[in-house]
Amino acid sequence: MYPFRDFDCVIRPDDFNLLQRVFDNELARAKLKIDMPEADALAKRLIALYQEGLRDPVDLLERLNVH
């Protein structure tokens, strides 16, 4: 069973690239390394926001920084 709430949520290549850029930018801003638990939590939050319908990088970063 997949842990996603929205089983119809497909991450297309362009969206995947967008998510990767947002993730990389936030890692750099927060001075996190990819192998840190905080990076895992960040990735989970980012995917959850995407699944909720957020697609704009500015909105994604804004919501990530609220936590």
Per-residue pLDDT for 51 more than 80? Answer: yes
Domain that holds residue 66: 32-67
Residue 2: the pLDDT is 43
Q: Which comes out higher in pLDDT, residue 46 or 4?
A: 46
5 within domain boundaries:
no
Residue 13 Ramachandran class (φ > 0 left, ψ -120 to 50 alpha, else beta): alpha
24 within domain boundaries:
no
What's the mean per-residue pLDDT of the chain? 87
49 within domain boundaries:
yes
Residue 1: the pLDDT is 37
Q: Which comes out higher in pLDDT, residue 9 or 27?
A: 27
Residues in contact with 23: Cβ distance below 8 Å, sequence separation at least 6, in sequence order: 42, 43, 46
38 within domain boundaries:
yes
Residues in contact with 3: Cβ distance below 8 Å, sequence separation at least 6, in sequence order: none
Instruction: Name the band, by pLDDT with cuts 50, 70 and 90, for residue 11.
Output: confident
40 within domain boundaries:
yes
Residue 66: the pLDDT is 76
